[in-house]
Chains A and B, each alone.
Chain A
Amino acid sequence: SQQGEEDPQALSIQEGENATMNCSYKTSINNLQWYRQNSGRGLVHLILIRSNEREKHSGRLRVTLDTSKKSSSLLITASRAADTASYFCATDQGGATNKLIFGTGTLLAVQP
């Protein structure tokens, strides 16, 4: 089964509103990453948070990580129509395995 499960599966908001997406995972991790995918394109990395970090910011993005609950959230503030995309979390166990396992994703639609 997949490492990361995200909710909601789909989210529709108005421009200027905030969007929050959640990710839950099952095993211990070295870090957790968020990616964005525009329709028909490859994924693009947004932000990485390490297991010893609780919160990280990058521009309009805020990521939190709760390792005790095995969960993470991605907040996009003051959303824009251009933020419309699918967002995926990916868990990295680190070490020798060096593999990233992705969640099922959240489809975000920002209405102008």
Chain B
Amino acid sequence: NAGVTQTPKFQVLKTGQSMTLQCAQDMNHNSMYWYRQDPGMGLRLIYYSASEGTTDKGEVPNGYNVSRLNKREFSLRLESAAPSQTSVYFCASRLKGTGGRELFFGEGSRLTVL
């Protein structure tokens, strides 16, 4: 069982370039999330999709766009990369339900913007 798969694992971009981070889950989860992790900042929520067909802004959405392509896939796009977007990006997913459910994480995508 693959769980949550992120691609690419590593990427170096120049300022102004665009790219898309891909995320796919095979656990039939409703909700999917994109976080970024910076030293000393913990994880900050960029965008999330509570269910297929919906997306919402998180804590730090500026400079990003997302697409919930289908129930399995949730992509994160940087239209014009900036050095401030150098970070480790994590995709996560979970079932939606009352009482709360745990998140399952991918292994991360390490992005450097020069």
Contact = CB atoms under 8 A, between A and B. Distances in A.
A103 B100 contact: no
A48 B90 contact: no
Contact of B58 (A35, A96, A99): A99
A104 B42 contact: yes
A43 B99 contact: no
B43 A41 contact: no
Nearest to B91: A42
A99 B33 contact: yes
Contact of A45 (B41, B44, B103): B103
Contacts of A44: 105
Contacts of A48: 100, 102
B96 A98 contact: yes
The 10 closest A-B pairs by CB, nearest first: A42-B105, A31-B100, A45-B102, A104-B42, A102-B43, A98-B50, A43-B105, A92-B100, A42-B107, A105-B42
Interface of A: 2, 4, 6, 9, 30-31, 33, 35, 40-45, 48, 50, 88, 90, 92, 94, 96-105
Interface of B: 4, 31, 33, 35, 40-45, 48, 50, 56, 58-59, 90, 92, 96, 98-100, 102-108
